[in-house]
């Protein structure tokens, strides 16, 4: 294996959406809104991301997995602790209603110096076909 990691960029978002583990929760219209949310998160530098690449693959085909996390406000964290079904979709729906559930840098700093932060693993996924073929050739 020759995996490396880096941050997710705007150019990776379509790939991530097509390999989202909970893709069943997003019809075409919701998927477009999800991409808009992700673009806002990228532009506001409000999330922590990882793109996993297989260096043995050709450039522009190396991405095999990803993860996205955000710091969320106390209100969203409290709702999540009570048991939100499809938490990532609830996150999107709050954002659509204008109730920004994530913290921006200034809010992260304030929360970190106070009562603490709430971290949410928002999305993750991987390309099963690429990974199966590259890591376990006898099972392909």
Cα(27)–Cα(69) distance, integer angstroms? 22
Burial class (CB in 10 A: 0-12, 13-18, 19+), 68: buried
pLDDT in tens, 79-132: 999 998 899 999 999 999 999 999 999 999 999 999 899 999 999 999 888 877
Residues 103, 69, 72, CA angle at the centre, nearest 5°? 30
Question: Is 22:84 a contact under the CB 8 Å cutoff?
Answer: no
Q: Residue 93 in 3-state DSSP? A: helix
Cα(103)–Cα(41) distance, integer angstroms? 10
Kindly report whether the global pTM for this prediction surpasses the value 0.75.
Answer: yes
Nearest to 6 by CA among 63, 50, 72, 57: 50
Nearest to 68 by CA among 82, 86, 94, 88: 88
Whether residue 133 is predicted with pLDDT greater than 80 in this model: the reply is no
Which of the four pLDDT bands, split at 50, 70 and 90, describes residue 136? low
- Position 36 scores a pLDDT of 97
- Position 140 scores a pLDDT of 43
Q: Encoding tokens for residue 117? A: 């932060």
Which segments of 20-104 does DSSP mark as H helices, in order? 28-44, 74-81, 87-96
Domain that holds residue 14: 3-139
pLDDT in tens, 29-82: 999 999 999 999 998 888 999 999 999 888 888 999 999 999 999 999 999 999
Share of the chain above pLDDT 70, in %: 94
Which of the four pLDDT bands, split at 50, 70 and 90, describes residue 139? very low
Number of domains in the chain: 1
Whether residue 2 is predicted with pLDDT greater than 90 in this model: the reply is no
């Amino acid at each position: 294996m020759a995996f490396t990691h880096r941050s997710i960029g705007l150019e990776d978002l379509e790939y991530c959406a097509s390999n989202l583990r909970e893709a069943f929760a997003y019809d075409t219209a919701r998927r477009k809104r999800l991409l808009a949310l992700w673009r806002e998160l990228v532009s506001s530098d409000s999330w922590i991301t990882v793109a996993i690449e297989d260096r043995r693959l050709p450039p522009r085909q190396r991405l095999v997995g990803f993860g996205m996390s955000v710091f969320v406000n106390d209100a969203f964290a409290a709702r999540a602790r009570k048991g939100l079904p499809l938490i990532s979709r609830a996150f999107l729906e709050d954002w659509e209603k204008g109730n920004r559930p994530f913290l921006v840098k200034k809010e992260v700093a304030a929360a970190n110096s106070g009562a603490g932060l709430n971290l949410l693993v928002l999305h993750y996924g991987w390309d099963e076909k690429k990974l199966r073929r590259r890591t376990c050739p006898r099972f392909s």
